Structure formats: C-alpha cells, structure tokens
Structure 1
Amino acid sequence: MATPLTASQILAALIAEGLDVKERSGWRTHDRGNRGDGWGPVHGVMIHHTGGIAPSDGDIVWSGRADLPGPCAHAYLAKTGTLTLTSAGRANHAGGGDGAVLQAVIAESYTTRPPAPHKHDDSPGAVDGNARFYGLEVSDRGDGKPWPAAQYDAAVRWAAAICRAHGWTAKSVIGHKEWSDWKPDPAAFDMAVFRRDVQARLDAGTKPKAPTTPSTPPEETDMALSDADVQRIAAAVWAYKIPNPARPDGKGNPAQTQASSFQRSEDSHYDALRADLKRLQATVDQLAAAPTKEK
C-alpha cells in the first residue's frame, strides 16, 4: 500500500526525471474528491491515448466531456513531449477494471504482462481503478501509428518518475487495454516493450544536471613557472592581437605593434624629464655660485 504523492512531490519527481513540465493553473486541487473509492492507496500508473486531435484533447483532459467530468488524467502529454499537469488527486481515467490485474500489479508477480482483463467499467466485480492508479493521457488518435520519439520518451520518463518516487519497478506500469477488456489504448505499441524501456530508465538512475559554477573554488598553487613556461607565455602574448575599436574594419593590431608604440611614448616622456632635470640642476648650480649678502 502506498500513500499518494503530494502535488509538490509529483512535480519534483518529474523535473528530476528531466521532463519538460508545465503546470496548468489550479492543477494541485483539481480532482474528483472522495467519489467512488476516493484516492489511494495507489499501486501503479496507467498509460492512455486520447483518441482525439491536438490541441483540443488537452482541454478535454482538463475539463472532461458531457458524459465524463474532468480531470481525465493526472497529466496530458503533447506530441512535442511537453507534459502538462492536470491533477494531483482522483481523476476519471481508469474506470472499472479487473481485480486480478490489480493484484498482479501490487505483487509485481507477472513475467512480461499481467493476466488478460475480463472486467470493464460497471461490470459485476469491477474494481475502481481511479482510486488506485496515476493516469497519463497522451495526445494520439489511436490509429496505431508510432508516437514521435520525444513524446514516447516523455511517456517513459513520466512512468519512471512515479515508479521511482514510490520504489516500484516497471511492473507497476500498465496500459488501459490491460486493465479493461473494453479498452484498446495505447494502440501504438506493446506494453511489454514500454515496460522494458521504463525499467531500463529506472536501472540507469537519474543524472543530476552539472552545476553552472564549481561548488568550491579551484585549488590554488604557488608553484613557480619554469623558463619554458615563461617563453611560451611571452610568445603567446607577443602573437596575440589586441582589438582596436578605432579601426572601422573592427580588426585588431598585433600586440607587438601596440607594445612598440607604448615603449616609444614612454621613452619620449623619459627624455623630456631628463631635459627638465638638467635645466633645474643648472639653475641650482648658478644659485649656489652667486655671492650672498650678510644680514
């Protein structure tokens, strides 16, 4: 038995899995409340296709239809791979299903696929799946054509994120067609293959993003430069071109030209100072040689 994740825990798990997540305004409290068997304990995740045409199917997942109030899933996945959060509580996505399938998911006891379902919504003995499964609605017409790579990868990441947060394996992931004998979704692939890809992601683990700046300053060293190091640095500086904003073509001048110009300017100032010093010294000498009057 597992307590449902909070809205903040869901969001954190999805972001950690590398998903492009959007939060629809009000999703944290947008749910079906305590209808049916309520919400939780939760035992797995369920994959659906909308059977509609984007982007209106995203609105239907949020608002529902005349015969099925929204939300119709916990998240909506667009063709682009962008995931929009639509609920953090009970949602109308699974409906009634087979209790034998639920037990196989809880125990994670099956091999490649759970037992075939023999129940559906409102059939005798059907189990309330809305209370026990997180649901993902994926934008797809249900014509069996493969999903775009970005969309399929995001679906795998979504399932892996929820399973990782609960400590489940990929055997806690089923398709709607594996829950109800009335449902065909998802039609684009075999759920055994999907579970294999989810498990591969769980086994690989999440990889945190590299920090943009080092967490600690790099270690400094006082080791002296060798003569060869000095020569290499001097050669690099000598060859470096310094940008010259005064040139209309925006090109730089060689560093040695800039250095030579600076040296000539400094030499000129030095010569002028030497001339001034000589004149001052001459004046001092003249004053020293002149006779002084007694007071």
Structure 2
Amino acid sequence: MLSRLFPDRFVPVLLATILLASLLPVRGAAVPVAQGLSTAAIVFLFFLNGVRLPRDEVLHGIRNWKLQGSALAFCFGVMALLGLAAQAATAPVLPATLALGFLFLGILPSTVQSATAASSLAGGNVAASVVAAALLNLTGVAASPLLFAALAGAEGEIHGQAVLRIVAILLLPFVAGQLVQRWLRPWVLANRGLATVMDRTAIAIAVYVAFSAAVVAGIWGLLDGREIGIVFAAVAVLLALSFGGAWALGGLLNLARADRITLLFSGAQKSIAVGAPLAATLFPPATAGMVLVPILVYHMAQLILSAWIAPILARRQEV
C-alpha cells in the first residue's frame, strides 16, 4: 500500500525530514554547526552532480535542437511565467515570502534521476532525457538565480555576498566535478545506489536545516489550515498546467511520441536538489524555509504524479 501511495522512496524521506524539523528543529549553539554541515552537504551534492552529468552526451544531444530547445524554453520560460502568475495570485492571501516561493519554484531546473526514470518507464527517449536533464541543470546553475532576480524585482535582488556564495558553494564544486569526471564518473556509474543515497542525504540535510530555521521563526504559527490548503490548491493547478502544457507543446511541435514523453517529464518536473541549496544561498535561514514550502510540496506531488502517469503512457504505446 505504501508503494502505491509513495511510488518514489524519496517522498517519505522528505516528509520525515519536514516532520523531524518541526518536532526537533536545530536551536541555539547547534545552529552554526548544522549550517556548516548543510553547506558541506551542498558542496558535495554539486560536486557529485558535476561528476555525474555527461558533458560529452550534452554536446552530442544538442543536435536534437527541437526537443532540447523546447525543454529549455518550457522549463525556464513557461514555468517561470507560471510561477510568477502563481505568486501574483497567492500574494493577497499568503505571507509574502511563501507566495515568493511559487516564483522560486518556477525558475528551477528539472530533476535528473526522476525525469529520466519516468521517461524510461513511460517509453520515452531515454538518451534524450539524460541529455535534457544535464543541459537543463548545467543551464540552471547559472540561469536560475539570474532569472529569479530579474522576475522578483526588489525581493529577488542578489547582493555581492550572495553572488560569491553561489559561485563558491554551487558553481565551483560543479565545475570541479566536471573537471574530474573522466576519473570519477565510472565509479559513480558503477555505484549508482550509493551515489543516489549520498545525493538524497545531502538534499535532506539542506532541507532539514532550512526548515528548522523556519520552524524556530514560527512558520506553523504564521500558517493556518486555510493557507496550507491554498498552497496545496495552487500546487495542484501548477501541476495540471505544467504537465498538461508540456504534453500539449510536444503535440504542437509534432514531436515523435518518445520525444514528446521526454519533454513532458523534463519540462514539467522541478528539482529540490537545486532548490534547497539555492534557497539556502539566496535567503536568510528563516526566510529560506518559508520560500521552500511550495517546491517541497510540488516536488513530492510530481514524483507521485509521474509514477502514476508513466505506466499509463507505456500501456497506451503498447496498444
């Protein structure tokens, strides 16, 4: 029953992380230690992403410009505008930082493992999915904070210190991973299970520390049942528009069915693996936890939705 309710094992991990942060948040003297651990986890996460993402395959896969171009346009164009619209729609009824989280959700790149796995299960173009995931994440490391700053106005202003943190904590480890990819990538590919555990542990640590600060700042006192319901309703609308829009775009472009499936999952999914570290870099700890709420809900919902959609697409393809 649990496997049907949570098709992806990372969903209960994220739920447990949020529950732990709500019941046992980091306080007092433990905060600097936890923040240091979170920073180390983020650096490691982006180093691992740099090792894992196939640079050569990206360069080769760019030749399918119609698919890869549409994935980039949808992920950073359409989704960013949907996030901006969701922020504007929820701003009158939600705390400002929580509404801002919808715009933050919209500018993030796609997932890597989840989008590729869903595409494979649904009968999509797996090679193109790997390339799309790599290309979107390579682009997102630099483009996501700039896009957020451009769309958020004064709320998204990126100061010099934040720029240095992005470079030091996100970009440099990623570049270092790319540089040593030749030697370490074979080990990562041979130990996919261990790499995935390390990857998700790093994400869980970043989410736990960020959400702990929000709990200490009183996030559960600031949000009532009505506001939580609004967040879930807004995420449901975003999911319908994003998955429906990506599938419709593939049809309008007359993509082959396998490429259309790749566009669906690459375009509509959003990455907490980039979202949690980026929020910790751009915002103060208490603010970061509030901003992360929409992407946390969206990320868990997209994993469940993708795991339900993929087998249906696969069965229709067989018919």
TM-score range, shorter chain: under 0.3
Q: If you compute each CA radius of gyration, which structure gives the higher value, 1 or 2?
A: 1
Higher RCO (C-alpha 8 Å, min separation 6): 2
TM-score (norm 1): 0.23
TM-score (norm 2): 0.21
**Between Structure 1 and Structure 2, which shows a larger proportion of helix residues?**
2
